[in-house]
Amino acid sequence: MLGVVTGLKSEARVLRGLDVACISIGGKADGAAAKIERLIAGGVTGLVSFGIAGALHPELRCGDVVVAERIADEKGDVFVAHPAWVRAAAATPRSVTPGLTRGPSQEQAQTSTWIPAQGRDDEGVGGGGGAILGLDRMLASPQEKAAAFARTGALAIDMESHHVARAAAAQGLPFIAIRAISDRADEALPSCFADFVDGAGATKMSAVLAALISGRVSLRELFAAGRSSRLAHQALFGCRGAVAGLR
């Protein structure tokens, strides 16, 4: 049986009915490794990082899906996804990254220390290729996203895939990351969004209401995020077949 790790409970519900063991870790670094270790101890044969992600590549749009060949983290460690799974997932309709023109420019890449997640001279990103950057914090501003893209060349960012990749590597298990874009690279997010989810991946309505009352987030921003999230979740639903076909 496959083990699937999501950030949100809503992402896990997309896979309801499939023969997988699923946990949600809420994008929280604390306890993530222990939760994944318990999942592995249950006898899973491989790991899948599944859910939404933020775009780093400027051409990605909400609802696009990245099937990552590699996962990079802030320290510069790079983990290679199971090639056969990447090929299988990329061959499934609605589950591939659209053709992208290029990685970061030479000028962008020179702005900060390069982490070889994708390749400085990659001119043919697409077809499910490229990397996802895993961080323990949310990148809220377009400037932060642009800097991360210049530094790593990763197509997208999430807060779970690096924990999944590291655990899989430690246990010698195959892994893959399948992630739907929920916010564009040029889109700013309220930083308080990171407080809206608990460690089990459930929405903390008290935190949402508190942010509304204090003015840290507006109804317009919440509605916009909700629309983008729905697009991403619809794209994830289209990836059910990709997950079910992994062996």
DSSP code of residue 97: P
User: By CB neighbour count within 10 A (0-12 exposed, 13-18 middle, 19+ buried), where does 123 fall?
Assistant: exposed
Handedness of CA 92, 90, 234, 71 (dihedral sign): positive
Please choose, from the candidates 108, 61, 66, 73, the residue with its C-alpha nearest in 3D space to the C-alpha of residue 89.
66
> What is the spatial distance between Cα 6 and Cα 22, in angstroms, rounded to a whole number?
7
Handedness of CA 202, 50, 48, 176 (dihedral sign): negative
Fold entry, domain 2-244: Rossmann fold (3.40.50)
Helix residue ranges per DSSP H, 185-247: 205-214, 219-237, 240-244
Handedness of CA 102, 165, 33, 196 (dihedral sign): positive
Residue 107 tokens read as: 């000028």
What φ, ψ does residue 106 adopt, rounded to 5°?
Answer: -60, -40
Cα 48 → chain centroid: 11
Number of C-beta neighbours around residue 37 at 10 A: 13
- What is the residue extent of each domain of the chain? 2-244
CA distances from 33 to 26, 167, 207 (A): 13, 7, 25
DSSP code of residue 197: B
Element (H, E) at 68: strand 65-68
pLDDT of the chain, 247 residues: tens digit per residue: 999 999 999 999 999 999 999 999 998 888 999 999 999 999 999 999 999 999 999 989 999 999 999 999 988 899 999 999 998 888 765 544 544 544 444 443 333 333 334 332 333 333 345 899 999 999 999 999 999 999 999 999 999 999 999 999 999 999 999 999 999 999 999 888 988 998 889 999 999 999 999 999 999 999 999 999 999 999 999 999 999 999 8
Helix residue ranges per DSSP H, the chain: 9-14, 32-41, 83-90, 106-109, 142-152, 161-171, 205-214, 219-237, 240-244
> What is the spatial distance between Cα 224 and Cα 90, in angstroms, rounded to a whole number?
29
